[in-house]
Amino acid sequence: MATDQTADYSGTGLSEMVSADRGLTAPSLSPAAELWDWRRRVADLYAAVRAEADAGRAWRLWRDTRAGLFADHPQTPLDEGSPPPMYFEYDPALRFTVQLLPATGTAFHLPAGPDGDVAVTPFARTRGLNERLGAELTIYWIGGYGGGAFLPFLDATSGNDTYGGGRYLIDSIKGADLGIDGDGRTVLDFNFAYNPSCFYSPRWTCPLAPRSNRLPAAVRAGEMAGGRP
């Protein structure tokens, strides 16, 4: 079931943390400067999410802040007139803290259209999802300058209620990182699963989830397809 509830963060400091003007004031900024601003705002948002002890409240902040970015930011992935993202209702049962085990595997490339292929190498395998979701997932390291952790996945909703190309949960290059808990376990909250930008418009290209990184369970959390393919 999709949700369209709004939340009030007044007095918490969280809304101010993620919505304050970070310098995007000139309408003539170059696309590169606009993208820089978008990524800064997304990084601020995930920092606020990690700082919030209440997971459901953190998710509502994430959802509502993304709605504002998608509606108003010049780097929105939405085409003009496109509907905003839709989400399943928050499900606390789909928030996990997992151990990461070393993973070995050969580097391979994920196609990314005109941007070229993206080189990824398996470096970690989760332990803590199988009992509930029927499998574990591989986390990849994106090659290139600096690199970054990347967790795209598919599940039984892919191609039906959610995007057929899969969704992202971690993309540390873009700031999408839910952090760790007090015991050093990695937080994987599938309520924060989101569609890659190419879901919204052919203006964007993005690497899609490898078919091997699939959960047999239906993960009815996070962003939905919302009537798109």
- Ordered mean pLDDT values, 10 residues apiece, the chain (229 residues): 43 40 56 94 98 98 97 93 93 98 89 74 97 98 92 97 96 96 97 94 87 97 78
For residue range 41-60, list pLDDT tens digits in order. 999 999 999 999 999 999 99
Structure tokens at 128: 């803590």
Tell me the DSSP string of 56-97: HHHHHHHHHHHHHHHHH-TT-SSPTTPPPP-EEPP-GGGEEE
* C-alpha torsion angle, residues 8, 194, 203, 22 (rounded to 10): 40
- CA–CA gap between residue 139 and residue 121 (Å, rounded): 8
pLDDT tens, residue by residue, 128-174:
999 999 999 999 999 988 899 999 999 999 999 999 999 999 999 99
**Per-residue confidence (pLDDT) for residue 27, from 0 to 100:** 55
User: For residue 105, what pLDDT is reported?
Assistant: 87
Closest CA to 62 of 146, 179, 141, 148: 179
Domain ranges of the chain: 2-199
